[in-house]
Amino acid sequence: MCVLHFAYGSNLWFEQMEARCPEHKKIGKGVLKDSRWIIAVRKNMKPAANIVISKGGFVEGYVFELSKKDEENLDRYEGKSYKKINLEIEMGLEYKTCMVYVDKKNVSQAGDIQKESVNTNQYKCTVGCLCTYGSRINKGIKDCQLSEKYVERDIRKFIDN
């Protein structure tokens, strides 16, 4: 049984997805409505991309079809702080139900989330950081051809180009 997965962080990078999920299929770009992209500071863990509720906002990403084996592999990479939830992703004129990894522990879940209630990283993750996380996200932005307006509005608050 296959599952559709909406990627929005470092899994946007096609080379990383190929290594982590060798059986995956590329489906196409997608948009998650009423949300926004952040880097969440996670207790005793490295900061990582996350999505939070934000009425009127949106997150651009990419939809992949995963085999059961690919999904199990990705579960290990994503770790225990992320939970899998099914969300409706806009793909052109239709919506697809996709599995999305969300870290609910490290953000407020009360209605519209204001900046003050989100535990975000106050410092940009530069491409030169040891974790290479910013570099992987930047490669994914290019691979998936995310819109420049979206990238500048949301991602560049946290990750340099």
Q: What are the chain's domains?
A: 3-157 (3.10.490.10)
Widest distance between CA atoms in the chain: 41
Mean pLDDT by groups of 10 residues along the chain of 161 residues: 94 97 98 92 74 93 98 90 92 97 65 37 44 88 98 90 78
17: tokens are 């997805």
pTM: 0.85
The CA distance from 116 to 46, in Å, is 20
The CA distance from 13 to 25, in Å, is 13
